[in-house]
Amino acid sequence: MADLFEAIELRKAGIKDVILILGKTTIEQIPMIKEYDLVQTIDSLDYAKQINELNIPINVHLIIDTAMSRFGIYCHQETGLDQTIEEVIQIDQLPNLTFKGFYTHFACADETNNHITLNSFIYLKP
């Protein structure tokens, strides 16, 4: 879902499956993430630390910014991969956040031979 309130509407409508919030939820609204059993996207170590300080355990997904420069933990070049990995490890160690997964938004996903997309895929490939 794009935001917290769309996610809450789905939950109130009876959706029992996992609901991932793609946008950023304000710190003041984080208790509703727990109340409605939602999954929050984390876009930075700072945001993760702010949420963790609330002492409210929630489930999270990380977004990795591989080329769009909009939203996410920065990882545009292979040379920055070590820093990205370090940030992910630090987020994973925060006691009130349960890391459930990560995702990215490829800049040119519909172009199969685009070098930006291919490089982004290579950086994230396990």
pLDDT in tens, 15-64: 999 999 999 999 999 999 999 999 999 988 999 999 999 999 999 998 77
Distance of alpha carbon 75 from its chain centroid, rounded?
13
pTM of the model: 0.76
> In CATH, what class is 4-124?
alpha beta
How does the average pLDDT of the chain come out, rounded? Answer: 80
Residue 32 burial by CB count (10 A; 0-12/13-18/19+): exposed, middle or buried? middle
3-class state of residue 73 by DSSP: strand
pLDDT interval class at 77 (50, 70, 90): low
The better pLDDT of the pair 29, 113 is held by: 29
